[in-house]
């Protein structure tokens, strides 16, 4: 008998035998995001039995898990009722407390994802032009060159590499840092710090203290210091890049304060990084596990745009964002009190049986593909066009040169409740 597919929810519900309460707690268990079978079993159960479910998990402040596509979309689109500010992402209670203390000292991150209207809109407008199609076209040659360089790097590694760590991790960071205008000599530092910030629940990533609020705060402090200096340098001598644009931007005639600027850089450098790395690595893993789809895409490169969209849906690297109710309300008839938070599960919305035909089938020709991996509404991912371009550029470069590819060991996923995905993808390949 074939072994169960890691993404077959029914098999895994039976294997894991979860109750609804246990399934809810899976969402607040970093290690569960490193076990795709368990995660999708839990999400499928919640979608079916308790699509709006109150989760009380050790070490976390309680929240409502929202797992159906329609509900995630409805909450995101009502930004007057559902606020980002109090609790935009799921963190441990200890980290929530540490961040609250920082906020009281005026040192907390104040980026787009931490803000609501009216502050959010003008701040978003500052960088928006840099992510529009015209700016993307200007960046295209640079991204293609980076894609080529990273496929060349695979060739230099010979016939095996850890694709997640050696290729997919650096590639998108370099693209985003090029857009920001940072010197290439600082890229390795940024790579370490962004991984420490997002992979803080995972001991393989970041510092030996990973999993503690200290690891997260340490990365944050270093990033703040770096971007503080960058702001001063760009104000003194603008260099026509995104960093200079943010450093020189004014709202109501006033320059942005240091914390807001550092938060802006940090958001762009971090949001643009692990998300896209995970999609590139997870996209290749999906192609390896579905050789028919790899063959189809190689024979018909015109399918690349739908294939990229399917990789983004399949991987859904952002596991969730949160919103907090401004007033008493309901979601799918379930009463939610003012001040309570909902967790919007993108991997779940993107496997919703009511929206996707055979959601557990990886289909490079899937069309339509109404995935919510980039969110929706006023906080819709600012870098969506860039992410699509980067993923497409890498596969456009790789696929024509890839004579064969297979797994060369067990892949491993990051243990985290925020931006997840593959941290190891050992592969064996032949490139032309
Ligand atoms: C916001 C996903 C790549 C920059 C978001 C959100 C999601 C997301 C789910 C929150 C949306 C919401 O609350 O409705 C992704 C995925 C990516 C990706 C899946 C890759 C496949 C990028 C890239 C950048 C970027 C390359 C480039 C800088 C941002 C920013 C925000 C954001 C600045 C905050 C927008 C706001 O709050 O107004 N992204 N992202 N992302 N993303 Fe991305």
Distance between CA atoms of residues 181 and 250, nearest Å = 20
Strand, coil or helix: what is 410? coil
- Strands 402-407 and 329-331, by their bridges, are unpaired
Question: Tell me: the pLDDT tens digits for 386-396?
Answer: 999 999 999 99
Q: How many angstroms separate the CA atoms of 7 and 40, rounded?
A: 7
Binning pLDDT at 50, 70 and 90, where does residue 377 land?
very high
Ligand 1 atom nearest to 391, measured from its CA:
21
The pLDDT of residue 426:
98
- Protein residue whose Cα sits closest to atom 13 of ligand 1: 379
Mean pLDDT of 401-409: 97
Contacts for 263 with CB less than 8 Å, ≥ 6 apart: 109, 110, 111, 114
Query: Quick one: which of 276, 278, 258 has its CA closest to 266?
Result: 258
N-term to C-term CA, the chain: 36
For residue 220, give Cα distances in angstroms to 108, 109, 129, 142, 197: 9, 9, 27, 29, 7
Q: Which helix (H) or strand (E) segment is 343 a member of?
A: strand 341-345
C-beta separation of 328 from 336 below 8 A: yes
Quickly state the pLDDT bin for 316 (edges 50, 70, 90): very high
pLDDT at 404 over 50: yes
Residue 110 has a pLDDT of 79
16-30, 35-49, 191-205, range with the lowest pLDDT: 191-205
CA atoms lying within 13 Å on the CB side of residue 178 = 19
Distance CA 188, CA 186 (A): 6
Instruction: Please answer whether residues 343 and 90 qualify as being in contact, where contact means their C-beta atoms are separated by less than 8 angstroms.
Output: yes
pTM for this model (two decimals): 0.93
Q: State in Å: Cα 350 to ligand 1 middle.
A: 16
Cβ of 373 less than 6 Å from ligand 1: yes
CA of 380 to the centre of ligand 1 (A): 7
Is the beta carbon of 283 within 6 A of some atom in ligand 1?
no
Distance separating alpha carbons of residues 225 and 73, to the nearest angstrom: 37
Please determine, for residue 3, whether its predicted confidence score (pLDDT) is greater than 60.
Answer: no
Strands laid side by side in the 160-162 sheet: 160-162, 426-431, 402-407
Show contacts of 45-53: CB within 8 Å, 24+ apart: 45/13, 45/18, 45/20, 46/20, 46/348, 47/348, 47/351, 47/352, 47/353, 49/20, 50/20, 50/23, 50/24, 51/332, 52/331, 52/332, 52/334, 52/336, 52/342, 53/20, 53/23, 53/24
- Asked if ipTM goes beyond 0.90, one says yes
If you take atom 15 of ligand 1, which residue's CA is the nearest one?
A: 374
């Amino acid at each position: 008998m074939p072994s169960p597919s890691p993404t077959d929810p029914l098999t895994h519900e039976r294997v894991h035998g979860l109750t609804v309460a246990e399934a809810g707690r899976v969402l607040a268990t970093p290690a569960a995001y490193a076990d795709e079978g368990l995660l999708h079993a839990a999400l499928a159960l919640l979608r079916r039995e308790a699509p709006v479910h109150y989760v009380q998990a050790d070490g976390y402040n309680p929240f409502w898990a929202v797992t159906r596509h329609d509900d995630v979309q409805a909450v995101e689109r009502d930004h007057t009722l559902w606020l980002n500010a109090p609790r935009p992402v799921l963190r441990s209670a200890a980290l929530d407390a540490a961040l609250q203390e920082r906020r009281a000292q005026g040192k907390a991150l104040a980026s787009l994802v931490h803000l609501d209207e009216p502050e959010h809109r003008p701040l978003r407008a500052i960088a928006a032009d840099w992510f529009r199609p015209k700016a993307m076209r200007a960046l295209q040659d640079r991204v293609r060159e980076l894609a080529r360089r990273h496929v060349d790097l695979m060739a230099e590694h010979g016939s095996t590499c850890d694709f997640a760590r050696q290729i997919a991790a650096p590639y998108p960071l370099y693209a985003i840092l090029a857009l920001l205008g940072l010197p290439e000599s600082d890229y390795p530092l940024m790579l370490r710090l962004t991984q420490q910030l997002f992979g803080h629940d995972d001991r393989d990533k970041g510092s030996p203290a990973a999993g503690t609020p200290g690891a997260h705060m340490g990365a944050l402090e270093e990033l703040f210091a770096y971007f503080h200096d960058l702001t001063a340098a760009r104000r003194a001598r603008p260099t026509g890049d995104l960093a200079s644009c943010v450093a020189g931007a004014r709202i109501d005639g006033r320059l942005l304060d240091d914390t807001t600027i550092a938060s802006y850089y940090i958001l762009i450098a971090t949001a643009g990084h692990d998300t896209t790395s995970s999609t590139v690595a997870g996209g290749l893993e999906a192609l390896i596990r579905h050789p028919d789809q790899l063959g189809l895409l190689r024979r018909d490169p015109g399918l690349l745009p739908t294939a990229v969209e399917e990789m983004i849906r399949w991987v859904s690297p952002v596991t969730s964002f949160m919103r907090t109710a401004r007033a008493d309300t309901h979601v799918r008839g379930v009463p939610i009190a003012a001040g309570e938070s909902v967790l919007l599960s993108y991997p779940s919305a993107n496997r919703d049986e009511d929206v996707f035909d055979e959601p557990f089938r990886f289909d490079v020709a899937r069309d339509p593909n109404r995935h919510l991996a980039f969110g929706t509404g006023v906080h819709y991912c600012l870098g969506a066009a860039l992410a699509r371009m980067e993923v497409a550029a890498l596969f456009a470069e790789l696929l024509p040169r890839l004579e064969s590819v297979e797994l060369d060991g067990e892949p491993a996923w990051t243990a985290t409740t925020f931006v997840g995905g593959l941290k190891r993808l050992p592969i064996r390949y032949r490139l032309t």
